[in-house]
Every structure is written in structure tokens, then in C-alpha cells.
Amino acid sequence: MSIREGKVLLIANPAAQNGAGAAAADRAATLLRAALGSDAVVLAKTAGPRHASEIAERAEGCATVLALGGDGIIHEAVSGLMRRPANARPAFGIVPAGSGNDYARTLGMSRKVDEACEQLLAAEPHAVDLGRVNGHWFVETLSFGLDAAIALDTVERRKRTGRTGAVLYAEAGVDQLLHHLDARRYTASFDGGEPTSGESITFAVQVGPSYGGGFKICPDARIDDGLLDVCIAHPPIGVAGAAFVFALAKSGRHTRFRQMELRRASTLRVEFDEAPPAQMDGEVIGGRTFDVAVEPRALAVLMPPR
């Protein structure tokens, strides 16, 4: 079903891009109503954390739910949609208006509101995979260790300074590399196989290829192959070496180093000796033990023509 069939619910985070999301939401609603009809698009602005999830869960009578903002509101909206019965679950689409916009990159969506709306009007739904960890859904990324610490530090810097953009992720990365290059012991089992133990600096589990504003941690990951891609960075690695690998990850060229272990699996269980920094789509998740699985073709997502 395309966006032109049935009612559209546009869930927008007005605080995205430090307040620019409000204007972006009004602009998107205006453009979509002009194309689809004034009564065809309902705009709902979020009032705080988890509100998008509540709105999406109550999306009765809507054929399409759109999320306008960054990866955080996408994560919330999808979580709400997945609480609906499968036969009453609207198609999902996005209007990128965040700082990282990793899911937008994966879907091929423009980060300009006008162009994104044009793409949605021409888009068709595709069944895509979702990840699930300890009962929580994630659309793109789950990670533990250094990369999670960088992602969470970036969020705090954004709140504290009001600045946005990939430069914040780079600044957080430099700070974490210099002061928190910690190896963490873990035991992991992939697809129910024998548990293996080791140490990791970064342990990333991906549905799509990138995180942190375009860092291609698992460059070959696909959102419709029914598998999770895993990248584990093992010690030993010094600050200079880690910084070099970090820089190469922007283009996905870090994978050739011997410290990098790449795997694919449909399920995995990982237990850390101590609770690591952990994030899913930029949202914090706590604990030491994580049960992770892919849900193949779980959601119909609007993607622009390639």
C-alpha cells in the first residue's frame, strides 16, 4: 500500500535538531496535505520521551505512520507499531530531521524535508527486518562498549551544547578513545552454538550497515536478509591504532584489520562480566546479559525508488 492510499499519521519530534523539528513538521504536513488532501494527514507532535511510541500504538484507522525526527523517534514509533497486531499494523515511513539519521541513510531517504516528502509520495512498502534485544525492538543498531559510550556521549553533548552534526560524534569519539579505551570480557553464543569467551572493545550488532551518523560498522549489512551482522573489535589495540580504525570505519574500510571479527547470525546471546555502556538506536539499555534476535520481514517500510 502506498502513502496515497488511506489516512497518514505524521508523528513529529518538535525538539529534533534542537528545535528545528517543529518547523520541519509543519512544512512536511503542508506538503503532504497539498498532495494527499487536507483531511488525509494528521500531525501529532510529541511532548516528551516515549510519547511517539504511545501515539504509534494508538494509530487506529491509519494506513501509514510517518516519523519525523532522528533515530530516537524512529525507534520509539516502531516500538509502538510493533505492539499492534500484525494485521492492523500500518506501513511505516520517515522524514529525516535528526542529527545521526542512520536509518535514513539505510533507506535512501533525503535529509531535506521537501525532497523526503517527494520520495514518500513515490515510495512503495518493502518488508524489512527488525532486531529485538531483551524484549525491546531496534531498527538499525545495537552496540556495547566503546561505540555505545561514544553514541551516548554524543547525545549528552548535543543536549548540553545545542550543537548538532557528525562533528559531535567525532569529538565524543576522540574523548572516549583517549580516556575510556576499555576491554570488556564477554561470553557469546551465536545461533545456539557453543559459547565462546573473549574480550571486546566494541561489540556491534546491526540490522543495517551504519551508526553514529554514517559510520559503516557493518558495511555489508542488509535490512532484508533475515540476518544480524556483528562486528567485534578485539584488543590489543592502542589509542593511535584505535583512532585510525575509528576513522576508517566512516567508509567501512576498518574490516580488514585482524582485530575485527565479523559474523552473521539470526540469534545471539552475549553476557559481559560487567555491565557495559550499551545503546540501541542511540537509546540507552542496561544490563550484563543480552538476548538478541532478528525478526525477518517484520515491518512494511516505505522506501523511495532506487
Residues of the chain with pLDDT under 50: none
pLDDT of residue 1: 66
Q: Please confirm whether the linkage preceding 14 is cis (ω < 30° from 0).
A: no
Residue at grid coordinates 584489520 = 257
What single-letter DSSP state applies at residue 215? Answer: B
Determine contact, residues 17/164, Cβ cutoff 8 Å: yes
Q: Yes or no: say if 270 and 232 are a contact pair by the CB < 8 Å rule.
A: no
pLDDT in tens, 267-301: 999 999 999 999 999 899 999 999 999 999 999 99
Residue 19's pLDDT is what? 74
C-alpha cell at 131: 532486531
Percent of the chain with pLDDT over 90: 74
pTM of the model: 0.93
User: What is the structure's pLDDT at 53?
Assistant: 97
pLDDT for the residue 140: 97
Question: Tens digit of pLDDT for each residue in 103-116?
Answer: 999 999 999 999 99
pLDDT of residue 238: 87
Q: Give 75-104 pLDDT, tens digit per residue.
A: 999 999 999 999 999 999 999 998 789 999
